[in-house]
Amino acid sequence: MSVFSSKRMHSRALHISTLLVCFALTGCLHRNNFQSYAGTWVLKSSGENLMVLTTKVHHTKLRGTLEQPKHHTEDWNGSFSGVSLPLVSLPVIGKCSATGVRARLISGHDSDTVTMTLTDHDHLLLDRYRGIVPPWKFERVSNGQAVRIATDWPVFNADPEIEGIRQRLRELSDQDKTAREESVIDPNKLEQLSQRSRSLLQNIFDTYGWPKISIFGTQPCNDFWLWVQHEPLQMQEEMLPALKRAVETGAAQRRNYAYLYDRVQVERRGPQYWGTQSICEHGKAILATVDDVEHIDKRRAAIGLEPLSQSLAASEEVCKRLHN
At residue 182, the pLDDT reads 83
At residue 12, the pLDDT reads 45
At residue 213, the pLDDT reads 83
Residue-wise pLDDT for 169-200, tens only, equals: 989 888 888 888 888 888 888 888 888 889 99
At residue 314, the pLDDT reads 87
To which H or E segment does residue 51 belong? strand 48-58
Q: What are phi and psi of 17, to 5 degrees?
A: -60, -40
As a CATH number, domain 31-140 is 2.40.128
- Which residues, listed in sequence order, are joined to residue 53 by a DSSP beta bridge? 41, 66
Whose CA is closest to 115, among 106, 107, 105? Answer: 105
The residues of the chain scoring below 70 in pLDDT are 1-32, 76, 108-110, 129-132, 156-158, 323-324
Q: What is the DSSP letter of 295?
A: G
Q: Is 234 helix (H, G, I), strand (E, B) or coil?
A: helix
At residue 323, the pLDDT reads 57
How far apart CA 61 and CA 93 sit, in angstroms, is 8
At residue 131, the pLDDT reads 58
How far apart CA 222 and CA 133 sit, in angstroms, is 15
Q: Is 312 helix (H, G, I), strand (E, B) or coil?
A: helix
Q: What are phi and psi of 269, to 5 degrees?
A: 65, 35
At residue 29, the pLDDT reads 58
Whether the Cβ atoms of residue 253 and residue 73 lie closer than 8 Å to each other: yes
Q: Is 317 helix (H, G, I), strand (E, B) or coil?
A: helix
Domain ranges of the chain: 31-140, 160-321
